[in-house]
């Protein structure tokens, strides 16, 4: 009984951290393991203690959003990790099924009436959710008006792509960054200010239609597509074909633009599903299939604490190399102090590791739990005090030294990176060597490296040609787009996308941007008080102003190009593989979007072209394109079709 109480307390604490604020205090693997242990104890003893998460559907609604009672309960799903369980699920009922991705986002209930979106709500505790209608109206792909004028209720999953997750996190200070796209989406969709939501490109994929005049769920989804909704990809299966479908979809996971933590199998017949009813927690017509995580046992060799350019000190578990999902893995981020402490790690501990969503390496469990490793009291680079603060994703560790060498090296690495000044051949290892020699103390010193050319040629790993190439790349970077330069400065909350918005508003005039008052910055589309305040703080800082005054006279900002003719309007592209004619995928993406096209992260029936210079590649994207009849074109073919 005491163990059950302990498990309930741990699970409820973890659930409240996530659902109440989008934070993570334990891994998904650890949560599932403890949940399964509690469930087994309840079955064994026949006792269920009040507050048990096995009897709770969602979370208690605690935010400042208005509450909405669902007309029909939104229950969670029973789950399995066994393919045979899916086959027996269909076999026992002698019914056909529909299997689709279990997207890892936030479930949303939608209501339309007379063709208008009138309500959107989170699942909440299954009975009562939160009103997010103001945010749903700025979802990137959700139709606000449809041709169907009757009352329509739908269920969907709000998600944020991996690419968007990286972009948004890069614009947030470390204490506000999110661990994964699911947490980011949860925190975003439940914002009080829809301006924030609009800037984060949330999308919604419908997976159920409650009021459509059809007999089958698959027909409902096809009908919803015709109304303008994006819907979850699905396959129709029987008890004989479901195992093959699971295996095929498992092989496609790495190519998905969104996080998926499994699959959902449901009976295709609507009438049959209704007749089955539900238990107190689960509907009887559907079941979730979670990937059976490929676990590997290994031994922890050390925990590294890496100081970033913002001062955040990140814990990383380093372990003896293991094979996971076809790749060799030897380290995994521990994300924050909270997760590090929960694992009670020590050198030599036996640990198990896996790939979350079959992609991101994670520590699943510490079998030894020696607890010998401690949170460092000082930054390992500069020796200054380290302090723990409460961050968005749990407790985080920071270096208190604003002049920490690690912060300098990391900030210079960001300055020269591809989407910033794009100085080729300027690795972080090279930067570290130059900092140690005293050649670099700030980003302006990059343009003075020619003064040290002879000394650099004498350093290990450098020679006449390599130094010439590096100096030539630095010289080439003097001509740069203003958005790239502003992104290079590393201003909190101002990544490349926001830098573009800023430059477009102020006519690509750096003088106007530097002088803009906070009130004027708030007029930029998508900018709120946090971004405006961050920009004003940066440009008001005397040290920042001095560096800008030094570097601006030696830079030439590229002229703003006119809006391209919308020759790609209505076309959707997916880009994969290496490029040779464009600098990188971002440059090609920018060209496509400027010409009216769209770029997606995954191949679907709506994809117009897959761009891949290796047309015969066995990649999952190429296979999907072949299955759907999507034309695969090379970079040169794209240029011939649309640029010449």
* Per-residue pLDDT tens digits for 414-467: 899 888 999 988 888 899 899 888 999 999 999 999 999 999 998 988 888 889
Q: Answer for the pair 315, 336: CB distance below 8 angstroms, yes or no.
A: yes
Domains 67-290 and 480-557 share a fold: no
Q: Which of 30-34, 66-70, 150-154, 205-209 has the lowest mean pLDDT?
A: 30-34
Alpha-carbon span 365 to 572, nearest angstrom: 42
Q: What percent of the chain stands above pLDDT 70?
A: 91
| Residue of higher predicted confidence among 162 and 112 | 112
Q: What is the Cα–Cα distance from 340 to 190, expressed in whole angstroms? A: 28
> Is 2-55 in CATH node 1.10.287.610?
yes
Assess whether pLDDT exceeds 50 at residue 622: yes
Q: Which fold has domain 296-399?
A: OB fold (Dihydrolipoamide Acetyltransferase, E2P) (2.40.50)
Q: What is the pLDDT of residues 555-593, one digit of tens each?
A: 999 876 555 566 788 888 988 877 777 767 777 887 787
Lowest mean pLDDT among 5-9, 410-414, 461-465: 5-9
Higher pLDDT, 515 or 19: 515
What DSSP designation does 68 have? E
Mean pLDDT lowest among 31-40, 104-113, 155-164, 233-242: 31-40
Strand partners, 234: 100
Q: State the Cα–Cα distance between residues 184 and 62, nearest whole angstrom.
A: 18
pLDDT at 107: 93
CATH 3.40.50.10190 fits 572-642, yes or no: yes
Closest CA to 233 of 255, 210, 211: 255
Instruction: Please give the distance of CA 12 from its chain centroid, rounded to a whole number.
Output: 25
Average pLDDT over residues 81-102: 89
pLDDT band at 363 (very low <50, low <70, confident <90, very high): very high
Contact 531, 513 (CB under 8 A): no
Confidence tier at 22 by pLDDT (50, 70, 90): low
Q: Residue ranges per domain, the chain?
A: 2-55, 67-290, 296-399, 405-477, 480-557, 572-642
The CATH H-level superfamily of 405-477 is 5' to 3' exonuclease, C-terminal subdomain (1.10.150.20)
102 in active site: yes
Mean pLDDT of 464-475: 92
More confident call, 492 vs 565: 492
What are the pLDDT digits (tens) for 185-243? 988 888 877 777 888 889 999 999 998 789 999 999 999 988 889 999 899 999 999 99
What sign results for the dihedral spanned by CA atoms 99, 105, 111, 117? negative
Which one of 102, 203, 217, 624 is the catalytic residue? 102
CA atoms of 194 and 135, how far apart (whole Å): 5
Distances (CA, A) of 4 to 10, 15, 80, 624: 10, 16, 22, 46
Q: Mind listing the pLDDT tens digit for each residue in 44-69?
A: 777 676 567 776 544 444 456 788 89
Neighbours of 389 (CB within 10 A): 12
Q: CB–CB of 75/119 below 8 Å? A: no
Instruction: Output the pLDDT for position 131.
Output: 92
Domain 480-557: give its CATH code: 1.10.150.20
Nearby residues of 318 by Cβ (< 8 Å), 6 or more positions away: 300, 301, 302, 303, 304, 330, 331
- Cβ distance 577 to 613 under 8 Å? yes
Closest CA to 180 of 29, 367, 390: 29
Give the CATH class of 67-290. alpha beta
- What single-letter DSSP state applies at residue 269? B
Report the alpha-carbon distance of residue 635 to residue 644 in Å, rounded. 13
Check whether 42 has a pLDDT greater than 90: no
State residue 55's pLDDT score.
Answer: 63
- Evaluate if residue 12 carries a pLDDT over 80: no
Residues 139 and 158: beta-carbon distance below 8 Å: yes
């Amino acid at each position: 009984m005491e163990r059950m109480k302990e498990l309930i307390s741990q699970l409820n604490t973890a659930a409240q951290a996530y659902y109440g604020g989008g934070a993570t205090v334990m891994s998904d693997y650890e949560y599932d393991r403890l949940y399964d242990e509690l469930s087994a104890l309840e079955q064994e003893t026949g006792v269920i203690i009040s507050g048990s998460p096995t009897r709770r559907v969602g979370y208690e609604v605690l935010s400042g959003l208005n509450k909405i009672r669902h007309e029909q309960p939104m229950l969670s799903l029973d789950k399995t990790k066994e393919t045979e369980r899916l086959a027996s699920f269909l076999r026992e009922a002698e019914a056909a099924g529909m299997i689709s991705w279990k997207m890892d986002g936030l479930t949303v209930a939608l209501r339309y009436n007379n063709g208008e979106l009138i309500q959107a709500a989170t699942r909440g505790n299954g009975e009562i959710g939160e009103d997010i209608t103001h945010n749903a109206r700025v979802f990137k792909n959700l139709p606000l008006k449809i041709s169907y004028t009757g009352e329509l209720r739908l269920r969907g999953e709000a998600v944020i792509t991996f690419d968007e997750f990286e972009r948004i996190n890069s614009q947030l200070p470390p204490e506000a960054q999110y661990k994964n796209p699911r947490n980011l989406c949860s925190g975003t969709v439940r914002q009080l200010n829809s301006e924030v939501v609009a800037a984060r490109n949330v999308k919604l994929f419908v997976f159920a239609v409650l009021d459509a005049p059809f007999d089958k769920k698959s027909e409902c989804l096809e009908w919803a597509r015709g109304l303008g909704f994006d819907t979850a990809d699905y396959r129709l299966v029987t008890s004989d074909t479901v195992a093959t479908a699971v295996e095929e979809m498992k092989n496609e996971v790495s190519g998905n633009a969104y996080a998926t933590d499994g699959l959902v199998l449901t009976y295709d017949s609507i009438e049959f599903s209704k007749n089955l009813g539900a238990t107190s927690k689960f509907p009887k017509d559907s079941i979730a299939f979670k990937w059976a995580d490929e676990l590997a046992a290994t031994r922890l060799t050390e925990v590294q604490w890496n100081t970033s350019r913002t001062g955040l000190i990140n814990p990383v578990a380093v372990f003896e190399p293991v094979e996971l999902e076809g790749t060799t893995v030897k380290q995994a981020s521990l994300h924050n102090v909270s997760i590090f402490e929960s694992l009670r790690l020590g050198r030599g501990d036996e640990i198990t590791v896996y790939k979350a969503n079959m992609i991101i390496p994670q520590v699943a469990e510490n079998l030894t739990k020696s607890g010998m490793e401690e949170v460092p009291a000082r930054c390992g680079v500069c020796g200054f005090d380290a302090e723990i603060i409460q961050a968005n994703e749990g407790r985080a560790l920071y270096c208190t030294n604003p002049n920490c060498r690690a912060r300098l090296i990391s900030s210079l690495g960001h300055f020269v990176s591809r989407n910033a000044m794009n100085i080729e051949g300027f690795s972080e290892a090279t930067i570290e060597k130059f900092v140690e020699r005293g050649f670099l103390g700030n980003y302006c010193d990059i343009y003075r490296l020619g003064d040290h050319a002879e000394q650099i040629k004498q350093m290990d790993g450098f020679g006449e040609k390599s130094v010439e190439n590096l100096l030539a790349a630095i010289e080439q970077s003097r001509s740069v787009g203003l958005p790239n330069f502003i992104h290079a400065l590393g201003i909190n909350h101002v990544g490349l996308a926001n830098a573009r918005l800023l430059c477009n508003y102020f006519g690509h005039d750096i003088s106007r941007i530097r002088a803009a008052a906070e009130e004027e910055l708030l007029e930029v589309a998508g900018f709120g008080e946090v971004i405006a305040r961050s920009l004003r703080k940066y440009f008001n800082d005397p040290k920042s102003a001095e560096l800008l005054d030094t570097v601006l006279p030696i830079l030439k900002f590229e002229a703003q190009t006119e809006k391209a003719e919308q020759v790609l309007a209505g076309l959707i592209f997916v880009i994969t593989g290496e490029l040779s004619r464009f600098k990188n995928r971002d440059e090609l993406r920018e060209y496509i979007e400027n010409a009216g096209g769209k770029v997606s992260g995954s191949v679907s029936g709506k994809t117009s072209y897959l761009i891949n210079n290796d047309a015969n590649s066995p990649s999952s994207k190429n296979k999907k394109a072949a299955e759907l009849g999507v034309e695969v074109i090379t970079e040169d073919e794209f240029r011939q079709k649309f640029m010449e």
